[in-house]
Amino acid sequence: MSSRISMTLEIAKLSFYETELKLTMDNEILLNGIIFYIEVLTIPEANSLPFWRIDGVIQIILIHVHPVEFLYYWFHRELHHHYLYSHYHSHHHSSILSRIHLPEHIGYFTLFAIPLLTTVLNRYNCLNCLRTRLCNLY
């Protein structure tokens, strides 16, 4: 209950625009949907997938845990260098909203799409992997 009260007090300090950003994620949902739709249109293998493949799930987990997390760490660390921080990443740290700038969002989406695209191109993907990927975006 106290977290709900502190959240209400936190939102009360914000302007209307910031409150609207805090409570909705419409831009991110639309951007992810458009990018995901383009991926499905450009990769013909994405139209004929089985419902479940355990080897695809294992491949996604292994690719995400090792190279993607490693690249994410270094990508985020690079965003804290002077030029990138002052032009892009400071927006993320300047407000309690913790929002990311559009180029960062596209970079993170591309980075986290690596496991999914790898399994699609290797023909190990399944519909359940796609559903899990979409649920993790939001």
Domain boundaries, given as residue ranges, for the chain: 25-137
- Please write the tens of the pLDDT for every residue from 65-118: 888 889 989 988 888 887 877 777 776 666 665 666 677 778 888 888 888 788
- Is the model more confident about 15 or about 126? 126
Q: Please work out, in degrees rounded to the nearest 5, the angle formed at the alpha carbon of residue 129 by the alpha carbons of 115 and 107.
A: 40
pLDDT digits (tens, 9 = 90+) for 31-76: 767 777 777 777 776 667 777 888 888 888 888 888 888 998 998 8
Q: What is the pLDDT of residue 9?
A: 42
pLDDT at 58: 84
Q: How does DSSP assign 107-133, residue by residue?
A: HHHHHHHHHHHHHHHTT---HHHHHHH
Q: Taking all residues of the chain, what is their mean pLDDT, rounded to a whole number? A: 71
Mean pLDDT calculated for residue range 9-17: 52
Name 67's Cβ contacts closer than 8 Å, sequence gap at least 6: 114
From CA 117, how far away is CA 36, in angstroms rounded? 11
Checking if the pLDDT of 6 tops 80, the result is: no
Q: Following DSSP, what letter does each residue of 89-106 receive, concatenated?
A: IHHHHSSTT----HHHHH
DSSP 14-35: S-HHHHHHHH--HHHHHHHHHH
